[in-house]
Amino acid sequence: MLSQTQLQFYKDNGYLLLDEVYTTAEIDECSLEYDEIFALKKNSELEATWRGDWKDEASPTQLFSIHSLQNHAAIFTRMLLKDTLLQAIADILGTKDILLHHTKAHVKPSGTGSAFPMHQDYQYFPYKKDTLVAIFIHLDDTSMENGGLAVYPGSHHLGPLEDRGNIPGWHYVDQDKFPIEKATPVNAKRGQVVIFSYLLVHGSYPNTSDSVRRMLLFQMMSAHDEKLKETHRSPCQGMVLSGRNPHAEANIKKTARRMLSAV
């Protein structure tokens, strides 16, 4: 799926922008279902603006989020299982044994869409071998003006950085060391996909434009990696998307205890 040039770019920079992972028809279907789900859930608590002392907002902003999209509509399961995506992830991870971590969607409304601080996903769910990757699917063209992604290329080589979050459950790096103004914008077209390491320092701009910015995010990891601590347990986590999971528990007594403890 990926060329040696693409793999080297990912190795050096920690992210990769891809075309033609999904067909136009798949993106159109996903986009339609996405909008219908957000409309259906409009009376639910969806506000997810990043909390903490990382930025002094001059005026209130908004970010609407729904997690576990595969539990809402079948198109998102089909998007997860897309061969071209999983082949690319297998090339990056060096294994076809790929597991789901979680999925989510973020909508930044026009004019008031919240920014994201520069952060590493590692702080939310650390893994021993650091195989976890994010897959950022663009449902709209993105730019600095409408709240697009920004990254520090190569920052994944720094390893886990100091967590400067001052509210439990909300993490970010030192914003003075990694100001978004010096980050590299990843402007993308509708349907393009960005894959990046969970160690990459990244964030996103506020949406000051007159258009909405919608994204769909998948996070996956190698079946041969393991959690360093039990955090961010999401529905369907551990689902085998490709290959197999040779480490999956088969002891019926242990699995029964886990099911009971989750009730």
Pairwise CA distance, residues 11 & 33, whole Å: 34
Give residues with Cβ within 8 angstroms of 40, minimum separation 6.
none
- The structure tokens 């279902």 sit at 33
- pTM: predicted TM-score of the whole model, two decimal places: 0.93
Give residues with Cβ within 8 angstroms of 22, minimum separation 6.
30, 79, 82, 84, 85, 137, 191, 193
Pairwise CA distance, residues 212 & 44, whole Å: 19
| Residue 249: both structure tokens together | 């528990």
Give residues with Cβ within 8 angstroms of 146, minimum separation 6.
108, 110, 113, 140, 205, 207, 208, 209, 211, 212, 213
- pLDDT tens per residue across span 74-83: 999 999 999 9
Q: Is the pLDDT of residue 1 over 90?
A: no
| C-alpha distance from residue 112 to each of 56, 79, 261 (Å) | 15, 29, 41
Position 103, amino acid: T
Does residue 185 contact residue 148 with C-beta atoms inside 8 Å?
yes
Confidence of residue 63 (pLDDT cuts 50, 70, 90): very high
Q: What are the residue boundaries of the structural domains of the chain, listed by start?
A: 4-261
Does residue 214 contact residue 139 with C-beta atoms inside 8 Å?
yes
CATH class assigned to 4-261: mainly beta
- pLDDT tens per residue across span 99-135: 999 999 999 999 999 999 999 999 999 999 999 999 9
